[in-house]
Amino acid sequence: MNSLFFRSCLLLCCLSALSGCGDGQNDFGGSLGKRSQPVELVLLEDGRPAPEVLAEDQVVYRGNGEEPETLDPHLAQGVPAASILRDLFEGLTAESAAGDLVPGAALRWNISRDARTYTFYLRRDLVWSNGDPLTVDDFVFSLQRAINPVTASSAARTLLPILNAREVLAGELPVEDLGISLLDEFTMQITLTGPTPYFLGLLASPVAFPVHRGNVEEFGDQFSKPGNLVSNGAFVLSKWTPRVSIELERNPRYRDADATLVEKVFYLPTEDRATEVKQFRAGELDWTNEVPNNQFKWLQTHYADELVISPWMGSYFLGFNLTQEPFIDNPSLRMALILSIDRQIITEKVTQFGEMPSFALVPPGIDGYVPFSPEYADWAQEERDHEARRLYEQAGYSEENPLRVEIRYNTSDNHKKIALAVASMWKQTLGVNATLVNEEFRVFMQNREQKVITQIFRAGWISDYNDPYSFLEMFRTGHGRNDYGYANSTFDALLDEVGTERVRARRERLMFEAERMLMSDHVIIPIYTYVTKRLVNPHLRGWQNNVMDHHPTRNMFKLKSREAMSTENNP
Amino acid sequence: MKQAGVLRHAAVRLLGLIPTLLVLITIAFFLIRIAPGGPFDGEKILPPEIRANLDANYHLDEPLLQQYFRYLGQIVTGDFGPSFQYKDWTVNELIARGFPVSATIGGLAMVLAFVLGTLIGTFAALRQNSAIDYSMMGVAMLGISIPNFVVAPLLILGTAVYAGWLPAGGWDWSWQRMVLPVVTLALPVVAYIARLTRGSMIEVLHSNYIRTARAKGLPEWQVIRRHAFKPAILPVISYMGPATAALITGSVVIERIYSIPGLGSYFVQGALNRDYTLVMGVVIFYGIVIIVLNFIVDLLYAWLNPRIRFDEAQ
């Protein structure tokens, strides 16, 4: 009697909890009905927004994912830190709102004929946020600091294209031997080991940002704390409470300070995606870092204006371990498994966020590169399934003798859902018995690296820089991240050629060949191209979608709401 | 005599803390290093030159035993070292900022849970087997059974998103931001304390000295207040030691859902990131808190229960 009562209470409560937060179909009105609308954007002749449409309070609250590990630009690695650092600092080059490379601290540059020497001409009127003049000395000091072994920076690998960087990092040469020289107070030269067409893009990343020498020497490892940190970007650090908020203020000494409209930015750590969405809905955030995977439909219905989805520079795929059975020298089996996945269903029904089905390694949208597309990309799924069954049998498997295989992934809802979908597609089309194995991230990465117990594993790559080489490089024989055990000397030779080729079109051709070779060796199972997905306050404008997902606050501004406009007009 | 006994007991217990902590430190130190992967292993692999610099910088290139003794020598001075993950902060700084937040929320939740729990439990015991008793204990059972990762989002949805009374998350030491986490943390503890109190109160109310108290004509509330309450909450007190330790050291679930900068997340993040120094610092800190709280519970026990006296054991 007693326990029956408890159980029914429990059941009732669970039901109400499910209907309340499961997909949240029922709305009680609340703040939802009263969302204010921004006024129309009016631009002046110079392309800036007209003052009368701007909101009075230019304060932006940005959800930023995890707590940044550091605000020392030379040590920072993660995306959360990089977003803040791009507001605080500016490198020799910078990115526009659309993600295109534009002059930053350098006004212009020349590239030598052999594509190995870059000469940078600094702007002459630059100052730090404390008023000190900013010269090439600061850049030379900073690049040397980033690479100096004493700094022990893992981000320094971004600067490896610079001549002698590897030797300096290994402690074999002094930092003065780096390929960086000073021509005069406002001119500097950087020499590279080989042609690196994406090098200008690398200079826009935090590890190449300048730090104030006196500041670093005075405060040591405390220099990146508020009150100590001197920077040269559009904003300065005013307050930092770990895991609560990081507060930046407009830097009036920034070279383009007149064009910076936002007065204050708050970066709030948002570890829990569901909470982040609730904070957005309660009006506490203007910009979320992400949105939860399972709320797409609900958000699309209720927050269509706020939901922003855009292609990202990353590929999601599964990898084969080519050094273990059953995949050693078994291309037909690998091809059968690649073909029998219906990517459309995965992106539309499983992940649901408008990811783009993919049949190759390099995602579209990279600087002029047209990714390789295999023949079967244009087939209907039935044709692929048909061919898959033929190859499966050719490899010696059948209904009586099915393939037994493990799909391994690190603990995550998304990976699990995808692995489950893939396993059931293989079961349905080929009769494969796939089992799912999930592991904690570092255990998983170690197993991948050791290549002993892995068979098929979750892989993927999100690039740090806008170049296909970033994706291809890790399939080189012996590369630290070559967890596939792929070894093809022709492929390696192609990559070597890419490394020395200075004609852009020829270099792209070589990378295309390399990608084609990799895909016809069936090393990976492409699934989709990543997208970024977030909620943005419709009042917040000035930013643009870009494949790098870089959105400096200096481009942003907030529009007035219609209500505020009408009360002003009819006081 | 009694005073001296308590003091001697306290001294012995505090000395006992040292070997306990040493064992704790040793186990934790080697366990976290046995775990696969290191602090600098990520999806993007580091060039060997950079890896060597990092290892040298954090002394990870030394033999394990040497690292162990280096660490012991360092924590004797009270220095937990720099965090591997949060490079701008030392572990001491992180604990010093995280613990006050966790302790405030946990402490408030414990006070709330104790007051509400004992009240409900006593009330239910006095009306044993009535409809009120059943419904109170039914609600208490619910409180215990529903995990706080269900309660918390529901509370946010109701009070922050729809009603707009309270913020949905974040932290600035204002009472508005404390309400939801404190309530969420307290709910299962209220329920647990209510059930404990009810059970032991019923038992106490059946004992002889209560019958005597009633026989001499004391009003019922006096019987409860002066004679029954103290012995009845003994099981609650022994439960509260570890429960308080768990509450004030932070709950990773609550901290994530409400975006609170407490200690709990450092423990979990530290373990997942293989942030050796952070994990060690938090483990040692936890160890001290639990030992101290258990010690306080022992003292309270002696004060509440006339049958326990430390000098008798000698």
Distance, in Å, from the CA atom of B14 to the CA atom of A74, rounded to the nearest integer, reads 45
Q: Does A446 lie at the interface with B, CB-CB under 8 angstroms?
A: yes
Chain A contact set for B43 (CB, 8 A): 445, 481
Distance, in Å, from the CA atom of A445 to the CA atom of B134, rounded to the nearest integer, reads 52
Chain B contact set for A75 (CB, 8 A): 87
* A2 band by pLDDT with thresholds 50, 70 and 90: very low
Q: Tell me what pLDDT residue A569 has.
A: 66
Q: Tell me what pLDDT residue A486 has.
A: 95
Beta-carbon pairs below 8 A across chains A and B? 176
What DSSP character marks residue A50? P
Distance, in Å, from the CA atom of A477 to the CA atom of A463, rounded to the nearest integer, reads 20
Chain B, window 206-265: residues with a beta carbon less than 8 angstroms from a chain A beta carbon: 256-259, 261, 265
Q: Which token pair is B34? A: 């046995």
Nearest to A152 among B47, B53, B160 (CB): B53
Q: Which token pair is A111? A: 């590239």
Q: Tell me what pLDDT residue B308 has.
A: 67
Contact status, residue A177 vs residue A164, Cβ threshold 8 Å: yes
Across the interface, whether the CB atoms of A9 and B142 are under 8 A apart is answered yes
Residue at token pair 């909101």: A55
Q: Does A445 lie at the interface with B, CB-CB under 8 angstroms?
A: yes
SS3 A117: strand
Chain A contact set for B85 (CB, 8 A): 69
Chain B, nearest residue to A146 by Cα: B50
Q: Does A13 lie at the interface with B, CB-CB under 8 angstroms?
A: yes
Chain A, window 450-479: residues with a beta carbon less than 8 angstroms from a chain B beta carbon: 464, 479
pLDDT digits (tens, 9 = 90+) for A406-455: 999 998 888 999 999 999 999 999 999 999 999 988 889 999 999 999 99
pLDDT digits (tens, 9 = 90+) for A497-515: 998 888 888 999 999 999 9
Q: Does A294 lie at the interface with B, CB-CB under 8 angstroms?
A: no
Q: Which token pair is A67? A: 């707590």
Across the interface, whether the CB atoms of B170 and A245 are under 8 A apart is answered yes
Mean pLDDT, chain A, whole residue set: 89
Across the interface, whether the CB atoms of B146 and A17 are under 8 A apart is answered yes
Query: Among the residues of chain B, which ranges form H helices?
Result: 2-34, 48-57, 64-76, 91-126, 131-145, 148-155, 175-205, 208-215, 220-222, 229-232, 234-248, 252-258, 264-272, 276-304
Distance, in Å, from the CA atom of A143 to the CA atom of A181, rounded to the nearest integer, reads 11
**A339 Cα distance to chain centroid:** 28
Q: Tell me what pLDDT residue B94 has.
A: 92
Q: Does B153 lie at the interface with A, CB-CB under 8 angstroms?
A: yes
Q: Tell me what pLDDT residue A522 has.
A: 95
Distance, in Å, from the CA atom of B112 to the CA atom of B168, rounded to the nearest integer, reads 21
Beta-bridge mates of residue A433: A404
Q: Does B199 lie at the interface with A, CB-CB under 8 angstroms?
A: no
User: Which amino acid type is present at position A384?
Assistant: R
* A34 band by pLDDT with thresholds 50, 70 and 90: low
Q: Tell me what pLDDT residue A31 has.
A: 45
In A192-275 the beta strands, taken as DSSP E runs, fall at 235-241, 245-250, 264-268
Q: Tell me what pLDDT residue B148 has.
A: 84
* A464 band by pLDDT with thresholds 50, 70 and 90: confident
Distances from the Cα of A236 to the Cα of A511, A564, B141, B241, angstroms: 41, 30, 52, 46
* A542 band by pLDDT with thresholds 50, 70 and 90: very high
Q: Does B142 lie at the interface with A, CB-CB under 8 angstroms?
A: yes
Element (H, E) at A405: strand A404-410
The alpha-carbon gap from B92 to the nearest alpha carbon of chain A, in Å, equals: 13
Contact status, residue B38 vs residue B272, Cβ threshold 8 Å: no
Chain B contact set for A9 (CB, 8 A): 138-139, 141-142
Q: Does A35 lie at the interface with B, CB-CB under 8 angstroms?
A: no
Q: Tell me what pLDDT residue B38 has.
A: 85
Contact status, residue A148 vs residue B49, Cβ threshold 8 Å: no
Percent of chain A, pLDDT > 90? 70
The end-to-end CA distance of chain A, in Å, is: 66
Chain B contact set for A28 (CB, 8 A): 162
This prediction's pTM: 0.87
Across the interface, whether the CB atoms of B157 and A278 are under 8 A apart is answered yes
Beta-bridge mates of residue A525: A318
Chain B contact set for A267 (CB, 8 A): none
Residue at token pair 């003292």: B299
In this predicted structure, which of A19-28, A267-276, A393-402, B20-29 has the lowest mean pLDDT?
A: A19-28
Q: Does A34 lie at the interface with B, CB-CB under 8 angstroms?
A: no
Across the interface, whether the CB atoms of B162 and A30 are under 8 A apart is answered yes
**A229 Cα distance to chain centroid:** 26
Contact status, residue B40 vs residue B54, Cβ threshold 8 Å: yes
Beta-bridge mates of residue A63: A268
Element (H, E) at A541: strand A540-541
Across the interface, whether the CB atoms of B88 and A156 are under 8 A apart is answered no
Run means of pLDDT, 10 residues per run, chain B, 314 residues: 69 82 92 87 83 90 93 91 89 92 94 94 91 89 86 88 84 89 92 93 91 88 88 88 86 88 88 91 90 84 72 46
Residue at token pair 């900073």: A142
Interval A222-243 mean pLDDT: 93
Least Cα distance to B121 among B192, B204, B209, B227 occurs for B192
Nearest to A278 among B52, B89, B161 (CB): B161
Distance, in Å, from the CA atom of B261 to the CA atom of B255, rounded to the nearest integer, reads 7
Q: Tell me what pLDDT residue A19 has.
A: 35
Q: What are residue A364's phi and psi, to 5 degrees?
A: -70, 160
pLDDT digits (tens, 9 = 90+) for A257-309: 999 999 999 999 988 888 899 999 988 999 999 998 778 888 989 999 999 99
Distance, in Å, from the CA atom of B80 to the CA atom of B98, rounded to the nearest integer, reads 15
Chain B, window 92-121: residues with a beta carbon less than 8 angstroms from a chain A beta carbon: 94, 97-98
Q: Tell me what pLDDT residue A217 has.
A: 93
Q: Tell me what pLDDT residue A523 has.
A: 95
Chain A contact set for B45 (CB, 8 A): 479-481
Chain A, nearest residue to B134 by Cα: A2
Nearest to B164 among A30, A156, A279 (CB): A30
Q: Tell me what pLDDT residue B141 has.
A: 87
**B78 Cα distance to chain centroid:** 22
Across the interface, whether the CB atoms of A9 and B170 are under 8 A apart is answered no
Across the interface, whether the CB atoms of B162 and A29 are under 8 A apart is answered yes
pLDDT digits (tens, 9 = 90+) for A466-499: 889 989 999 999 888 899 999 999 999 999 999 8
pLDDT at A27 over 50: no
The alpha-carbon gap from B89 to the nearest alpha carbon of chain A, in Å, equals: 8
Chain B, nearest residue to A171 by Cα: B49
Chain A, window 138-197: residues with a beta carbon less than 8 angstroms from a chain B beta carbon: 149-154, 156-157, 160, 166, 169-171
Q: What are residue B163's phi and psi, to 5 degrees?
A: -85, -30
Least Cα distance to B280 among B100, B103, B70 occurs for B70
* A32 band by pLDDT with thresholds 50, 70 and 90: very low
Q: How many CB atoms lie within 10 A of CB B114?
A: 21
What DSSP character marks residue A435? E
Contact status, residue B223 vs residue B214, Cβ threshold 8 Å: yes
Q: Tell me what pLDDT residue A30 has.
A: 39
Q: Does A133 lie at the interface with B, CB-CB under 8 angstroms?
A: no
